[in-house]
Amino acid sequence: MSEKRLTAIVVEDEKLPRLSLLQKLEDLRQQVEVVDSCDNYDSALQSIVRYKPDLLLLDIQLRGRNSMELLEELKALGPLPQIIFTTAYNERGYLMKAIKLQVADYLLKPIDRNELALAIAKAAQAAQAPEKTKDKGEAERLSFRTANGKVFMEEADIAYIVADGNYAQVTGFRGRDMVLENLSALEGRLDGEQFVRVDRSTIVNVKCIYRLNAKRRTCTLMAADGTTVELTLSKNGIERLING
């Protein structure tokens, strides 16, 4: 498979570091196409929503705002792109947050050209290697990382997924598993027409919906063999499914 050139947005509120980073990225233009650069929180949010880039090169501090807040806003809108943090802060707290967000890399300023190239290669590999495998038939199988290894499920066997902190609970018609991915990462790997994020914390397999009860705010899902599971939804969640 040929490598795809990543589209990227640079978010850096200081002019000289921003220009320096853009120059280094110009040397890597065969791997990255910079579609925009932003110097503040609001313009970054608008640009990311508009361009939907594959990669964000994101400064942690943005003129009094924290880019973690920006990522939380973006997570509510859909899957996050690959992320490379660029920061002058060598603090454990930021590093741990970066690890939990499963970012591609965390680079300290001044940014080394070789480290930047390696980080972009890592982001490209992550963007092009979703954990999907084909069964002997045509059904799509997905692998999910768990604390003890992996679990494999066909899409039709997944009823719904609920956020659990930085991880998620995947509920199928045969049981439930805690997987080591956040909801946005999972959303990016699933068929968007079949798996719909109905609120901030819940993804539902809409092809398996059997009954919706607005009064009780419940959604009953049914597998091909008649097995059912029931999910209680938020007000927004049940309304989205009923009106969708």
pLDDT of amino acid 31: 92
How does residue 3 score in pLDDT terms, banded at 50, 70 and 90? low
Which range among 14-23, 39-48, 61-70, 167-176 shows the weakest confidence by mean pLDDT?
Answer: 61-70
pLDDT score, position 168: 94
| Contact call for residues 123 and 80 (beta carbons, < 8 A) | no
pLDDT of 105: 83
pLDDT: which is higher, 34 or 96: 34
CA distance 191 to 203: 11
pTM to 2 decimals? 0.53
- Write down the pLDDT at residue 166: 87
Percent of the chain, pLDDT > 90?
Answer: 55
What pLDDT, on a 0 to 100 scale, did the predictor assign at position 15?
94
In this predicted model, which residue has the larger pLDDT, 48 or 61? 48
If we measure between CA atoms, which residue out of 37, 40, 34 comes closest to residue 5?
34
- The span from the CA of 114 to the CA of 24, in Å, is 10
User: Tens digits of per-residue pLDDT, 63-120?
Assistant: 878 888 888 888 877 788 999 988 886 655 665 566 556 678 888 889 999 999 999 9
Name the least confident of 5-14, 37-46, 90-99, 129-138: 129-138
Q: How many of the other CB atoms lie within 10 Å of CB of 158?
A: 24
> Which domains does the chain carry?
6-128 (3.40.50.2300), 134-243 (2.40.50.1020)
Confidence of residue 188 (pLDDT cuts 50, 70, 90): confident
Nearest to 124 by CA among 53, 70, 58: 53
Instruction: Express each pLDDT in 189-235 by its tens digit.
Output: 888 889 999 999 999 999 999 999 999 999 999 998 889 999 999 99
Lowest-confidence segment of 32-41, 44-53, 118-127 by average pLDDT: 118-127
The three-point CA angle 82-54-33 to 5° equals: 120
Mean pLDDT taken over the chain:
86
Q: What is the pLDDT of residue 161?
A: 97
